[in-house]
Amino acid sequence: MAYTAKIGPSILSSDLSQLGRECERMMECGADYLHLDVMDGHFVPNLTFGHPMVECLRRCIGPDPFFDMHMMVSRPEQWVKPMAAAGANQYTFHLEATANPGNLIKEIRESGMKVGLAIKPGTTVEELAPWARQIDMALVMTVEPGFGGQKFMEDMMPKVSWLRSQFPSLDIEVDGGVGPDSIHRCAEAGANMIVSGSAVVSSDDPRSVIALLKNVVIEAIQKRSLDR
């Protein structure tokens, strides 16, 4: 069982005028990685930032924080090299956005980044399955991508459970409406990488929230290990 518990605050929920400082604050509070949401106004209706912002952040906060790029874009192939050059560590693209996932996975690897593959709530987990052994992480969206502050979709948990049963060592990430109220369901289903936006970033005590989320996931991993 190679996977570990990791908590990645979604920096889109932070004060965007102080983004570098906010990233540093999250890492100081115990974050394992940073989740950066890239939206192009096409694949999803919202618009955020691109590789120039990532390059600035990398320069500002140094080489250590792991940048997980959630690419909610209609042409993910277009941004692989620019994101790699900007300092991204993992390139998570949407299965729904490409006709040739295999080529894109290869291109991301050749650019020196880890590979994440995301699915929207309406996409079945069986559609992701053929690529699961070629990727580093599967992302199961627990809201419709594009906007923060949505309600957690508990009916996505069977996807996580199925992935964990079929691919026991795969990193499985959940993103959308995840916080102290929903973390137990995510952890029990088998998610080990937890994206949390406002529940962490807007908290009066982010350190405590990150620790709580992580401890729940660690306990679930330990229990699964004992049950095997």
How many Cβ atoms from other residues are within 10 Å of residue 207's Cβ?
A: 15
Q: Are strands 193-196 and 6-9 parallel, antiparallel or unpaired?
A: parallel
The span from the first CA to the last CA of the chain, in angstroms, equals 10
Instruction: Cite the active site residues.
Output: 37, 175
- Annotated ligand binding at 175? The verdict is yes
35 is in an annotated binding site: yes
Tell me if 176 is assigned to a ligand binding site: no
152 is in an annotated binding site: no
Query: Phi-psi bin for 144: left (phi > 0), alpha (psi -120 to 50), beta?
Result: beta
Ligand-binding annotation for 64, yes or no, is no
Residues 145, 191, 118, 161, CA torsion sign? negative
Cα separation, 226 vs 228, in Å, equals: 6
171 is in an annotated binding site: no
Numbered residues of the known binding site for substrate = 10, 70, 146-149, 177, 197-198
> Which positions make up the binding site?
10, 35, 37, 70, 146-149, 175, 177, 197-198
Binding residues for a divalent metal cation: 35, 37, 70, 175
